[in-house]
Structure 1
Amino acid sequence: MADSTPPPPADDQSPPPPPPQSHTGSPTDFLKGVVGKRVIVRLTSGVDYRGTTSLLSCLDGYMNIALEQTEEHVNGVVTNRYGDAFIRGNNVLYISAAEAL
């Protein structure tokens, strides 16, 4: 029987996605639970934004995110710091709760 494990991705630059969380509930429940807390937002470009969520809302089917005290991370290095940042939802790959930054 052949091994059905897919080969590793060719691009070793980006880290793997975060492991699945062992919580129950909907994505909406998760998002409501992280308002006012530190999160990591990974964009489809591979850039991470780390900050405190100030508002999470759905507009026209997109999940737009407003962050406060935001840091931009490219390849694990802080490249910019912003007081406030607005990220359009169609650019978001995932949102992860940050334990401690």
Structure 2
Amino acid sequence: MADAPGEPTPTSSSKDPSSFLSEIHGAPITVKLNSGVEYKGELQSVDGYMNIALENTEEYVNGERKNRYGDVFIRGNNVLYISADK
């Protein structure tokens, strides 16, 4: 059966969120909070509630670096999105 026009088609590059998160473990990421604050650091762990632990973390407010932290724990209900950095 063919897909209807305009509908997304699955590709070999499609990933579920848990496989994406396991692939970026230890990699630099950006976490944007619902408040607009961003944290950039190395992903150390994430759980089923999207609680995130980062190392070597920098905090950005309105695009400007405000603080540096060694370790940061972010509660999952505050997370707007997670982005893998290059």
- 1:5-44 equivalences under 5 Å are 23-44=13-34
Matches of 2:24 and 2:75 in 1, distance apart? 17
Structure-2 separation of matches of 1:65 and 1:33? 15
String of CA shifts for 1:28-76, please: whole Å, max 9, x gaps. Answer: 1111111000000000000000000111112xxx210000000000011
The normalised TM-score by structure 2 is 0.83
Runs of at least 5 residues in structure 1 that lack an aligned partner in the other structure: 1-22
SS in 1 for 2:22: helix
The 1-side partners of 2:47 and 2:24 are apart by 12
Note the residue ranges of structure 2 that are not aligned, 5 or more in a row.
1-12
Cα deviation 1:7-40 (Å, max 9, x = unaligned): xxxxxxxxxxxxxxxx411011111111000000
The Cα RMSD (Å) is: 0.7
| 1:87 equivalenced with 2:79 (yes/no) | no
Structure 2 counterpart SS, 1:66: strand
1:53 aligns to 2:40 (yes or no)? no
Cα deviation for residue 87 of structure 1 reads 0.2
Percent identity over the alignment is: 55
Length, aligned pairs only? 74
User: TM-score, structure 1 length as denominator?
Assistant: 0.71
Mapped to 1, the partners of 2:52 and 2:24 lie a distance apart of: 11
Q: Structure 1 residue runs of 4+, over 6 Å off? A: none
AA aligned opposite 1:48: E
